[in-house]
Amino acid sequence: MARIFGIDLGTTNSLIAVMEDGRSRVIADPVSGDSLLPSVVALAPDGKVFVGDEAIAMEPHLSVERDGRVSAVGFPGGEFGAVVRSVKRYMGRGGEELADEDRRRYTFADLTGAVVRFQVGARTFTPPQISAEILRALKARAEAALAGETVARVVVTVPAYFNDGQRQATKDAGRLAGLEVVRLVNEPTAASLAYGLNEKAEGCVAVFDFGGGTFDISILNIKGGIFEVLATNGDTHLGGDDLDRVLVDALLEGVPDTVRADRHVWNSARRVAEDAKKHLSEAASVELKLDLPDRKIARTITRAEFERMAAPLIDRTLECCRRALADAGQNAREIDAVVLVGGSTRMPLVRRRVGEFFGREPLCTLDPDQVVALGAAVQASVLMGTQGDLLLLDVVPLSLGIETMGGVMERLIHRNTTIPTSTTEGFTTAVDNQTHVDVHVLQGERELAPDCRSLARFKLGPLDAQPAGVPRIEVTFLVDANGILNVTARDERTGREHSVDIKPSYGLTDDDIERMLEESIDFGEQDIEQRLLIAARNDADQILTALEKQLREYGELVDADERRRMGEVTARLEQARRGEDRERLSKLVEELNEITTPFAERIMDRAIKLALEKKSIEELT
Amino acid sequence: MIKCQACDREQQPRLLCAQCGAPLGAGLDLFAALGLPRKLTIDPARLEQTYHDLGRRIHPDRFASKSVRLRDASLRATALLTRAYRTLRDPVSRGLYWLELNGHKLADNNKSVPADLAEMVFEVQEQLADLRVARDGSGGEAERLRGAVDERRTELHRMIEGGSRELVQNFARWDAHGGANGAGRDALVMELKLVLSKIAYLRTLIRDIDRELDSAQAA
């Protein structure tokens, strides 16, 4: 069976890993030797796409020439091509949710739609499409490194605090990249798997995951191979990007807004800030320098100053920790181990504050940039059935509910409920002869519907005309192991399944994705499930044709009983060949292969014998 | 009767197929899902062990490469198992569920205040209202009120602990009683309902406090 790979689709960097000989390892680029692929995508005006370091080179920035002149280079956006960084921040969000800052940095096509669209020339790109390019680059890297092994099935990690729409967008990205996303795994949980397997961590573990764009805290109980998440909390818009911004603000203090808004200036400032931030993890102070066309900026910032500016951001992470502990029913001092994950935990202030909060030295024995991908590979091997004793029990991060009369959110599934989980709710009509019931699904912790995140709307029906309150429809809300909601409805009286036509509030519809797949000329983008089914059908055709021919030519080599058994399996296979069940099809091909093996061997024997006879005759003559 | 998606065997509803062990999980009550008798007393350690053992066998992770129908069966069976474990692990929700199974469902949104709690509930609501007002004003007063509410929270937790002990005794008495008919039975059900609704009410109160403290913090 094809291997399943683990992918960490990060805000700043992405990685691909696989399990080999009982240990997971990150697959480095065979040419450059890099493990991390920068999550930066350049969309050239001619339609070409670049990912990683190549894309960074095309990012708009200021270049200082040898004679000291400063010029603007790179794709500035819009008709001139765009370079998108931290696309993860835009996953599962709608156009109207974009802030002024976003609009300064990128050119967007649609500021009202259910999904953000980046404008490049005459084309537009959604965040799942851009993320798909990163996934495709990782796939290509792994396939090149592994001498032609195909990467078709993957586990992709997501922030634990990602909502339903953000998770769905990540799955969409996989589909658009021609990958089957077998499972989404929460990043801190993946990290705990890597620690549990490699460092034998046990007991109550807190995973503090502070990445490039997102923050998660998960409290787990690890016991005898069961990784049970007790509670999770976080902020999907809090990470290293925000630490950079603190330094950008300090660097550009006094610079007019119009200059600041320039994409070349901003990106150059961001690069200077990012380097400075990394230096400040080692050095006591650093000089930030930026050459603008009309002036040179130089500013020295000490670590103490930076820590003072960053403190409010760290406070926010600890506030999340406090909430997660309360939900887990644990005391900070009862935690057996605290694990640091994500590049932002390299900051000494973070380590110090986390240590103080939990009253113990945090662990970071595994590379904080790699640990999530390593854990994703562990979960991939669990799904392949090669880690029989491990089991992950994760939770839903945010409560799910529906809007009830008066705009109140009624919680149906509470946050931190173990997944998969389901609940059923009865619906009926409010007025006579009502033919449809509208249901609005929400996610969040607030009391009022408008304060929660709208997930989707769906219509139940059509219903038979009846007096109000008579129809009884039972709706099942099921959150699967990916943390994604599925809705089914049943008429309680007739037991008949109702169709549920779900319209997601944010993100792509199935039709959108189909269209994107059709539009793409790349064969690799075809729906993977469909491709696998076609491949399985081809296998079936091949063996059926071969067997028919062999029986015709060498029929005397099989006895009646053998022929009867072959006939039986052949009939079942021919039937499955017309169906859609790939698993059954593959199984039957295997079965037929197995029972015809002795026959094939006999044919081979006969052929060899004939060849030898022929040879001896030739030798004689 | 339901049909196993793995081996096609028809059988009575259960969590695992009697023939091949694949997940079935249809139309089961939560005690049956965990293979437990309908008793109120449950050993938490054994309950967790059973949950983990069954989880290992039916979880979707074990069926990632199987047919769509079998994956679906695994998903539904695991959702049921999880709900069963969560409901029965907690003595209060276990008691409420048990009452429901036996035709004594407590009202969904039990808004009526148990008589012996009325005075305290009134005080708590007043404290929370004060805190809401003080939040926008000077820091010192809000700080003092937060402290008072926090103390109240600890007190409520103590009351719940007391109630839970009472509940466990009730459970033991009921199980010993064997669920027989008669006058004793009705009295026991009444008693059980009373303790349960009191604890449920105290929990709601704590949730209100937590929410208020949370938004006070955020402000």
The whole-number pLDDT of residue A523 equals 40
Mean pLDDT value of segment A269-273: 96
Pull the structure tokens for residue B94: 């276990």
- In terms of domains, do A275 and A317 share one? no
The top-scoring range by mean pLDDT among A54-63, A76-85, A153-162 is A153-162
Mean pLDDT value of segment A286-307: 94
Q: Which residues of A touch B61 (CB under 8 A)?
A: 183, 379, 382-383, 391-392, 481
Q: What is the C-alpha R_g of chain A?
A: 29
**Domain CATH code at residue A450:** 2.60.34.10
pLDDT at A457 over 80: yes
Mean pLDDT value of segment B41-68: 92
| Furthest CA-CA distance within chain B | 71
The whole-number pLDDT of residue B218 equals 52
Lowest mean pLDDT among A489-493, B89-93, B94-98, B212-216: B212-216
Residue A516 belongs to a domain? no
Residue A522 belongs to a domain? no
pLDDT digits (tens, 9 = 90+) for A348-359: 999 999 999 999
A563/A598 Cα distance (integer angstroms): 12
Helix, strand, or coil (residue A98): coil
Note whether B65 contacts A1, CB cutoff 8 Å: yes
Q: For B2-89, CATH number?
A: 1.10.287.110
Q: Which of A133, A164, A172, A209 is catalytic?
A: A209
Residue A581 belongs to a domain? yes
- In terms of domains, do A224 and A268 share one? no
Mean pLDDT value of segment A360-378: 96
Share of chain A above pLDDT 70, in %: 96
Mean pLDDT value of segment B77-88: 94
A173/A187 Cα distance (integer angstroms): 17
Mean pLDDT value of segment A274-298: 94
Return the closest-CA partner of residue A219 out of A203, A236, A231, A202. Answer: A231
| Residue with the larger pLDDT of the pair A458 and A160 | A160
- In terms of domains, do A120 and A148 share one? yes
Distances in Å between the alpha carbon of A469 and those of A429, A437, A583, B130? 5, 11, 44, 42
Dump the DSSP string for B67-134: -HHHHHHHHHHHHHHHHHHHHHHSHHHHHHHHHHHTT-PPPTT--SPPGGGHHHHHHHHHHHHHHHHH
pLDDT at B219 over 50: no
Lowest mean pLDDT among A128-142, A515-529, B55-69: A515-529
Mean pLDDT value of segment A580-589: 87
The whole-number pLDDT of residue A65 equals 84
pLDDT digits (tens, 9 = 90+) for B98-127: 888 888 777 655 556 777 788 888 888 888
Report the amino acid identity of residue B47: L
* Confidence band for B178, pLDDT divided at 50, 70 and 90: low
Geometric angle at alpha carbon B117, from B116 and B123, rounded to 5°: 135
pLDDT at A37 over 70: yes
Beta pairing class for A203-210 and A180-186: unpaired
The whole-number pLDDT of residue A522 equals 47
Note whether B214 contacts A323, CB cutoff 8 Å: yes
Identify whether the C-beta of residue B189 lies closer than 8 Å to the C-beta of residue B98: no
**Domain CATH code at residue A213:** 3.30.420.40
Note whether B52 contacts A391, CB cutoff 8 Å: yes
The whole-number pLDDT of residue A171 equals 96
Q: Which DSSP letter does residue A330 get?
A: -
Mean pLDDT value of segment A13-33: 94
For chain B, give every domain's residue range: 2-89, 115-218
pLDDT digits (tens, 9 = 90+) for A395-421: 999 999 999 888 889 999 999 999 999
* Confidence band for A386, pLDDT divided at 50, 70 and 90: confident
Interface mutation target, options B48, B75, B85, B161, chain A, most CBs of A under 10 Å: B75
Residue A543 belongs to a domain? yes
B153 contacts chain A (CB < 8 A): no
Mean pLDDT value of segment A599-612: 78
- In terms of domains, do A299 and A361 share one? no
* Confidence band for A315, pLDDT divided at 50, 70 and 90: very high
Lowest mean pLDDT among A128-142, B37-51, B201-215: B201-215
The whole-number pLDDT of residue A294 equals 85
The whole-number pLDDT of residue A392 equals 94
The top-scoring range by mean pLDDT among A101-115, A192-206, A237-251 is A237-251
pLDDT at A194 over 50: yes
Share of chain B above pLDDT 70, in %: 89
Catalytic residue check, A187:
yes
Interface mutation target, options B2, B57, B61, chain A, most CBs of A under 10 Å: B61
A360, with CB counted inside 10 A (0-12, 13-18, 19+), is middle
Residue A106 belongs to a domain? yes
- In terms of domains, do A255 and A299 share one? yes
Note whether A326 contacts B210, CB cutoff 8 Å: yes
| Residue with the larger pLDDT of the pair A528 and B21 | B21
- In terms of domains, do A335 and A299 share one? no
pLDDT at B179 over 70: no
Chain B segment 48-67 residues within 8 A of A by beta carbon are 52, 55-56, 59-62, 64-67
B87 contacts chain A (CB < 8 A): no
pLDDT at B164 over 70: yes
The whole-number pLDDT of residue A616 equals 59
| Residue with the larger pLDDT of the pair A613 and A316 | A316
Chain A with chain B: Cβ pairs closer than 8 A: 69
- In terms of domains, do A208 and A326 share one? yes
Q: Which of A308, A337, A353 is the last residue of a domain?
A: A308
- In terms of domains, do A35 and A155 share one? yes
Residue A521 belongs to a domain? no
pLDDT digits (tens, 9 = 90+) for A482-541: 999 998 888 888 878 876 767 788 888 878 877 777 766 444 444 566 667 777 887 788
pLDDT at A607 over 60: yes
| Residue with the larger pLDDT of the pair A424 and A78 | A424
* Confidence band for A600, pLDDT divided at 50, 70 and 90: confident
Which residue among B56, B64, B86 sits closest to A418, beta carbon to beta carbon?
Answer: B86
A125/B130 Cα distance (integer angstroms): 51
Interface mutation target, options A383, A390, A417, chain B, most CBs of B under 10 Å: A383
- In terms of domains, do A100 and A192 share one? yes
The mean pLDDT of chain A is 89
| Residue with the larger pLDDT of the pair A615 and A411 | A411
Phi, psi of A300 (to 5 degrees): -95, 135
pLDDT at A38 over 90: yes
Mean pLDDT value of segment A35-55: 92
pLDDT at A188 over 70: yes
Which residue among B62, B64, B79 sits closest to A421, beta carbon to beta carbon?
Answer: B79
Residue A514 belongs to a domain? no
- In terms of domains, do A151 and A80 share one? yes
Domain of A479?
A: 400-508
- In terms of domains, do A332 and A364 share one? yes
pLDDT at A620 over 60: no
Residue A217: CB atoms within 10 A of its CB come to 29
Return the closest-CA partner of residue A243 out of A217, A265, A207, A212. Answer: A212
A300, with CB counted inside 10 A (0-12, 13-18, 19+), is exposed
* Confidence band for A610, pLDDT divided at 50, 70 and 90: confident
The whole-number pLDDT of residue B21 equals 80
CA atoms A83, A86, A92, A97: torsion sign: negative
B204 contacts chain A (CB < 8 A): no
**Total structural domains in chain A?**
4
Residue A515 belongs to a domain? no
pLDDT digits (tens, 9 = 90+) for A242-261: 999 999 999 999 899 888 88
